[in-house]
Amino acid sequence: MKNQDCIFCKIANGEIPSATLYEDEDFRVILDLGPASKGHALILPKEHFADLYELSDEAASKALVLAKKIAAKLTEILKCDGFNIVQNNGTCAGQTVFHFHIHLIPRYKNDSVGLGWTPGTLTSEDKDEILAGFGK
């Protein structure tokens, strides 16, 4: 199902043109207009899911297989030195377009892509709380 107001629905379904690297029945893979690095691509399902929480199991399983395939092809073409797969959910996590998508970000030695964080400490309180949530 498509969402009338969603720009990625329009791009994924071909209503808005995009630099398309790959397309099948379920997905379109496009180049990001504001790339973090050369070759930054986005995997867009044609069906509208706002985020990972809404994503169907079927689309989820296909999406990672596709990510693997496109990452391998981009690596072959660009001769990049590494790869990040990024997927943002929620404004606080950096999501700006609320149609599920996977970022494929080629990495190059000494590039200036900033995806890091400052490691904290796993406290026993946090660990116990989270394990308890999983019934462990």
List residues near Zn ion by CB under 5 A: 3, 6, 8-9, 48, 99
Q: Give yes or no: 101 in active site.
A: yes
d(CA 52, CA 56): 8
CB burial of residue 47 (10 Å; 0-12, 13-18, 19+): buried
Residue 9 binding result from Zn ion, ligand 5GP, none, given CB thresholds of 5 to 8 Å by partner type: Zn ion
Find out whether 70 and 43 touch, Cβ atoms under 8 Å.
yes
CA distance 53 to 85: 18
> Which residues, at least 6 apart from 52, have a Cβ–Cβ distance to it below 8 Å?
60, 87, 89, 100
The answer to the question of residue 37 lying near ligand 5GP (CB under 6 A) is: no
Least distance from C-beta 99 to Zn ion, angstroms? 3
**Choosing among ligand 5GP, Zn ion, none, which partner's interface includes residue 28 (Cβ < 5 to 8 Å by kind)?**
none
Query: Under the criterion CB under 6 A, does residue 18 sit at the interface with ligand 5GP?
Result: yes
| Binds 115: which of Zn ion, ligand 5GP, none (CB < 5-8 Å by kind) | none
Site string for ligand 5GP, 38-77 (x = CB under 6 A): ----x-----------------------------------
| Among 26, 37, 95, 111, contact with ligand 5GP (rule: CB under 6 A) | 95
- Catalytic residue, chosen from 40, 48, 99, 101, is 101
How far is 10 from 2, CA to CA, in rounded Å?
8
Binding site for ligand 5GP (CB under 6 A): 7, 18, 30, 32-34, 42, 88, 94-97
